[in-house]
């Protein structure tokens, strides 16, 4: 009987407020670098420790618009549908239920977020369920990673991989600030997402562009 190859699935967790080309390039770069079969984008419900974010339904729809042209990209509502604060241990547990048991999961997120992992809920369980891909901005140094991992370093450091991103330097914060000031965000995020933002009047925009 032919052996079935275990799927390698990237899990792209983030607030995506809003999603931009930096996120999309990170996902595509990770897909190639780690031979991933697909990437599932998972917009956080209520992100941990963030006071004010755009309602989850908008962040979900903007993410959907941004990924739909890539056949390797999917989106999941697990963090929205569970409700409450999003903890990655719950994200991975829920996603695992819908995947074949032999699937290898790779959680892709920003390096800054991973530096805080020791303070996440059940970090050992999280790092056992998925390997981590830390997307770094140009010039970012992850020398601090083993210090940040603390007692988890010995067991789990090998399960965290650093992925250098092409130098784009886009951030959601900058996109939000530009929108609020009425400045152009063209070429920082997909046109479909920009249109959605203006139609919904998000980030202090009005319909006039």
Shortest Cβ 126–ligand NAP spacing (Å)? 7
Tell me the site size for ligand NAP, rule CB under 6 A.
Answer: 24
- Interacting residue with ligand NAP among 13, 64, 65, 105 (CB under 6 A): 13
Which H helix or E strand runs over 81? helix 78-82
> What are 178's two structure tokens?
């530009």
166 exposed, middle or buried (CB, 10 Å; 0-12, 13-18, 19+)? exposed
In 24-129 the beta strands, taken as DSSP E runs, fall at 38-43, 46-47, 73-75, 85-86, 104-110
Looking at beta carbons only, is 75 or 135 nearer to ligand NAP? 135
54 binds ligand NAP (CB under 6 A): no
Q: Which listed range, 18-26, 57-65, 97-105, 200-208, lies at the site for ligand NAP (CB under 6 A)?
A: 18-26
35 exposed, middle or buried (CB, 10 Å; 0-12, 13-18, 19+)? exposed
Shortest Cβ 195–ligand NAP spacing (Å)? 20
76 binds ligand NAP (CB under 6 A): no
Cβ 50 vs Cβ 21: under 8 Å: no
155 binds ligand NAP (CB under 6 A): no
Residue 177 vs residues 3, 129, 172: alpha-carbon distances, Å: 51, 36, 9
- Interacting residue with ligand NAP among 103, 118, 171, 177 (CB under 6 A): 171
113 binds ligand NAP (CB under 6 A): yes
Binding site for ligand NAP (CB under 6 A): 12-15, 22-23, 26, 44, 47-48, 86-88, 108-110, 112-113, 120-121, 135, 171-173
């Amino acid at each position: 009987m032919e052996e079935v190859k275990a799927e390698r699935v990237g899990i792209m967790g983030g607030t995506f407020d809003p999603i931009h080309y930096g996120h999309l390039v990170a996902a595509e770069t990770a897909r190639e670098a780690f031979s991933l079969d697909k990437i599932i984008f998972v917009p956080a419900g209520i992100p941990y420790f963030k006071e004010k974010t755009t309602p989850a339904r908008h962040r979900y729809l903007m993410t959907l618009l941004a990924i739909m042209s890539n056949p390797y990209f999917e989106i999941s509502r697990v963090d929205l549908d569970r409700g409450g604060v999003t903890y990655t241990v719950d994200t991975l547990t829920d996603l695992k239920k819908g995947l074949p048991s032999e699937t290898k999961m790779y959680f892709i997120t920003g390096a800054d977020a991973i530096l805080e992992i020791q303070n996440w809920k059940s970090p050992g369980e999280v790092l056992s369920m998925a390997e981590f891909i830390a997307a770094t901005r140009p010039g970012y140094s992850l020398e601090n990673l083993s210090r940040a991992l603390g007692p988890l370093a010995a067991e789990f450091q090998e399960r965290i991989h650093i992925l250098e991103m092409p130098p784009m330097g886009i951030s959601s914060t900058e996109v939000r600030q530009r929108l609020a000031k009425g400045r152009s965000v063209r070429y920082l995020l997909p046109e479909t997402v920009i249109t959605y933002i203006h139609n919904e009047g998000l980030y202090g925009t009005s319909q006039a562009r």
